[in-house]
Structure 1
Amino acid sequence: MEHLVRDAALRTRVYHIKAEGMVLKVTVTLQARMVEKWIRGVKRDFLDAATTKCIGLDCDLTDPRVPNQCATVLQLTVASETLVFQIIHADRVPQVLKDFLQDGNIRFCGAAISNDVKKLDRYDIHITSAYDLQKVVPNPSTKPTPSLYDLANYTIGTNLEQRKKYNHKKKIDVAAQEKEDEIIFGWAIIH
């Protein structure tokens, strides 16, 4: 994930990613006002008219070897819109976001989501309606715990493959690959 805080002029970036025949819009930000704008937009464009309101949620966390781990990035996906909020570097955590995540009419879905929910407590964020897809969606694989790739492929009928992060002991662009993978998963989860 890009670290936007280094350049004050680039505190928000919008990407249009084409994958599997889909065009996804990704807003990467550390500005609270952009989070508020994104929430207003997805409510208006997708959630207000939906009978079932479902949002993909994922967090990146600080180094697991360090005690008191917390969320560094919060990712929300609705339809073709994804918000990547670099919460650890944000100017503030907007009340609009807290209220949005506490809305009991919206289902927030992810994998091992209970850990994400716990790590957001530091920001006074309390998610009341969280669903762990690894427990809700039937396991389409022979593994004890299906991966998000397994669930996405089963749910939307694709054949996405997890790309390797290392190739002959050389790192590829891991951050870019992880961002693309998370966006595709978020889209797949809610469809």
Structure 2
Amino acid sequence: MEHLVRDPACRNRVYYLKAEGMEATFKAMVTLRAKMVEKWIRRVKRDFLDTATIKFVGLDCEFTDPRKKKVGEEQRAAVLQLSLASETLVFQMIHADIKVPQALKDFLEDGNIIFCGTAIGNDLKKLRLEGIRITSAYDLQKVVPNPTTKTTPSLYDLANHTIGTNLE
């Protein structure tokens, strides 16, 4: 995904993925542009969330490299991934034209949407450094019974067990 940063003309990519044994095609938008984040939010609200009685969105963050930070500096949120239904947004905040667009902040702070992830506490902490306070978040490792022999199941483990897939 680094190619987005190197090529100023290409700040967005859309990928269509189909996993073996699954009927649905997943759409993943990778972007550095705030406008594309806003478009994605409007589309998933219209197509999925507005009519849903319970609104769940998967959330994951990747952070800046701890080896490259200055003394006393905290790791920051670098990449934000949001997923629901067959739609995924990968927003490379660290290289974005606007690090936290207002539409994204409003979306993440919407108390009517439940954001789910695994080991989500650190993600929430890093997003608070960007001025984002998510109030409706659940750590699936604490909610879903562990279907594996691992001490801490991954999101893949939980998803594979719950929906009966074998994603890697």
TM-score (norm 2): 0.91
Counterpart AA for 2:42: R
Equivalent of 1:91, from 87, 93, 97? 97
- Counterpart in the other structure of 1:74: 80
Counterpart AA for 1:78: L
SS at match of 1:69: coil
- Counterpart in the other structure of 2:10: 10
- Counterpart in the other structure of 2:27: 25
Which contiguous aligned blocks of 4+ residues in structure 1 show a shift greater than 2 angstroms? 64-67
In the alignment, the residues of structure 2 paired with residue 146 and residue 29 of structure 1 have an alpha-carbon distance, to the nearest angstrom, of: 29
1:153-164 aligned at under 5 Å gives the runs 153-161=160-168
In the alignment, the residues of structure 1 paired with residue 83 and residue 136 of structure 2 have an alpha-carbon distance, to the nearest angstrom, of: 15
Whether the aligned pair in 1 keeps the contact of 2:64 and 2:76 (CA below 8 Å) is yes
Higher helix proportion, which one? 1
**Structure 2, unaligned runs of 5 or more:** none
In the alignment, the residues of structure 2 paired with residue 36 and residue 29 of structure 1 have an alpha-carbon distance, to the nearest angstrom, of: 11
In the alignment, the residues of structure 1 paired with residue 52 and residue 79 of structure 2 have an alpha-carbon distance, to the nearest angstrom, of: 27
How many matched pairs? 161
Task: State percent identity of aligned pairs.
Answer: 73
**Structure 1, unaligned runs of 5 or more:** 162-191
SS at match of 2:18: strand
Alpha-carbon offset, residue 3 of structure 1? 4.2
Equivalent of 1:145, from 120, 135, 152? 152
Whether the aligned pair in 1 keeps the contact of 2:19 and 2:167 (CA below 8 Å) is no
Equivalent of 2:115, from 108, 117, 120? 108
In the alignment, the residues of structure 2 paired with residue 3 and residue 115 of structure 1 have an alpha-carbon distance, to the nearest angstrom, of: 27
